[in-house]
Structure 1
């Protein structure tokens, strides 16, 4: 099958390791599964996480267009916005972030890094955020009037171009598994804007593998993400790989683990994060990997995944998101 790869400027520290999770915490029960971790929390420090893989392609596109400013959007503690702002600072570009929520009194976590690297920040109400694409286009026009050359990166770096980040990650995973003589039945990932899940799915379909890609949505609904990611995949097919065949039925997205809402953690999720860190040395974030791992364990507990399966969990980073919620762990007597 032919595929036309767009330009890429490599910036992430890859390949990231795949390591077996030798045991689970004592209070999670017994599981007859082999669980491996793909450590994309090792892709960098300020750039750590899954977003930087996508940015390698947006950076190349921006250079081709002669852009000097990135405009993007996300929540107050957006990992994507932090990665965009930090990378922009590193390469001499400017960044304009549109963050959903209110300005906090004290900068913490990702937002603190946004401020430290000099991002221009605008806060957007939840109501206005529903038309964020229109607002970003308006801000682009304003920046052009200031003599700048902006480039808009969509929320989460998720669109047809952004899928390339995790298409290439899937290729990397195949090579690593081949070197280890290991096969994987399922890959689990958190889904917050759809680009990581979509890129992995496109990779699996392109290479003709039987590995099932499972997304656990951390916001909205699974139906929402099925339509959103399906559209990304069709655009990917049209632009880059006409022979690719992806059907809506190929998109396996699991609902039921959003909990109290996006970036809102329940006590049982925080307990799992604390216990995994203490007993297994695996540190997850409260927004993405914490919810996804909690959901995956629940599915295994209910044996909704065939017993004996080999599972790869995508650790997509986000550790800076832990920093602002230390009080929640203290109040819950977890630290």
Structure 2
């Protein structure tokens, strides 16, 4: 994002600067803040509320849309004709970016690590449906995506086009500010509900979401602890990335704040076998939440974060009394793969009509 020096101006506070940044409205906000009474009772009377960013319906985008509202406005302001981003084939961010591009009449190029999947499922299917051009690096290293984004942008400029690069997962300073606004939104909702959490718990991937919530909490003077459960990289690497993004986002608000990795709370005990690979703990957490509250989590992000929260509460390690869990979305992941990771553990019966009353009620065979 480039700022234009328009001469002397009155000093503006960070919230004023944030309010003046261009945004392309994509989401219907605020998203609901809802109590999870049954699950909370199962956890010893925990006052547990979900911030339902999964209900941001644009492109089935979840909370990724928050950052895209700022990035898209910046791209349009610079006269871009193509959004270039990247991640894996089942990326929520790529799918949301492709939807945003289509909405504004822009092209979208998505750089993905590895090889093209043999089957078209989940987010990969939706991204193709939305018309994005897909390029695969052939390298399983996720860093190959970063190099690919730069290379594609250089090639497009050589063709006279105007690409706008968006880092993997939308993790950049400007995109992070979208999540600062989410923290402010939650603070206002909690104040109205007379409920202030001790912690906001979330999944940490590329780091932009947690960075925004961390910066937002500091700006607000909020009493909550922002606690992340990483779904990909080790905790120390995740902390460093969150701190970097929060520091860079603060600079966009004219704040000379430095966030240190040591002050960032991230746990890495629930990654399982790796990013995007469902774990038994996540599977159990998803089933528990689904059957207690009728709310679906996803196996890549929120399922693993919930597994971490459940473990924290059940083992009595730093148990909280009041928690907000950030539901970031990601349900299309349910429709990828063969689904064998899902332990349905439910009763299935064949029904037939009774011999006495053909038009009567059904009975179990």
The TM-score, its normalising length taken from structure 2, stands at 0.86
2:13 paired with 1:2 = yes
Residue in structure 2 matched with residue 14 of structure 1 by the alignment? 29
Matched residues, number? 331
1:61 paired to 2:74 = yes
Structure 1 gaps of 5+ residues are: none
Name whichever of 313-322 and 175-184 sits farther off. Answer: 175-184
Alpha carbons of structure 1 residues 298 and 278: separation in structure 2 relative to 1, 3 Å: same
Preserved contact between residue 97 and residue 120 of structure 1 (Cα < 8 Å): yes
Change (3 A) 1:334 1:241: farther
**Are positions 1:322 and 2:334 aligned together?**
yes
Relative to structure 1, the CA distance from residue 268 to residue 174 in structure 2 (aligned partners, 3 Å threshold; closer, same or farther) is closer
Deviates more, 1:189-198 or 1:95-104: 95-104
| Secondary structure class of the residue paired with 1:172 | helix
Q: Which runs of 5+ in 2 are unaligned?
A: 1-11, 347-365
Q: Does 1:94 find its partner at 2:85?
A: no
d(CA) in 1 for partners of 2:54, 2:197: 20
> More relative contact order in 1 or in 2 (CA 8 Å, sep 6+)?
1
The residue matched to 1:77 in structure 2 has which SS?
Answer: coil
Q: Look up the match of 1:76.
A: 89
How do residues 16-55 of structure 1 correspond to structure 2 at under 5 angstroms? 16-24=31-39, 30-55=43-68
Give the SS at the match of 2:124: helix
CA distance in 2, matches of 1:274, 1:212: 26
- Which has the greater radius of gyration? 2
The range that moved more, 44-53 or 170-179, is 44-53
Distance between the aligned counterparts of 2:215 and 2:192, measured in 1? 22
The answer to whether the aligner puts 1:140 opposite 2:153 as a matched pair is yes
Q: Find out whether 1:312 has 2:327 as its counterpart.
A: no
Deviations 1:3-41 (CA, angstroms, capped at 9, x unpaired):
132322221111000001111299xx5423111000000
Q: Is the 2:281–2:304 Cα contact (8 Å) retained in structure 1?
A: no
Q: In the alignment, does 2:230 pair up with 1:217?
A: yes
Residue 274 (structure 1) shift: 2.6
State the shift of 1:209 in Å.
1.8
Does the 8 A contact of 2:231 with 2:275 survive in 1? yes
Q: Give the Å deviation of 1:326.
A: 4.8
Q: TM-score, with normalisation over the residues of structure 1? A: 0.93
Residue 46 of structure 1: SS of its match in structure 2?
A: helix
| In 1, Cα distance between equivalents of 2:304 and 2:118 | 27
Provide the secondary structure at the position in 1 that maps to 2:242: helix
Q: How does 1:272-291 map to 2 (within 5 A)?
A: 272-291=285-304
What do residues 161-202 of structure 1 show as CA deviations (whole Å, max 9, x unaligned)? 111111000110011111111111100010000001000000
Contact 2:114 2:137 (8 Å CA) reproduced? yes
Aligned pair in 2 of structure 1 residues 201, 7: CA closer, same or farther (>3 Å)? Answer: same
CA drift of 1:279 comes to 3.3
Is the contact made by 2:111 and 2:134 (CA closer than 8 Å) also made in structure 1?
yes
Distance 1:210 1:128 in 2: 38
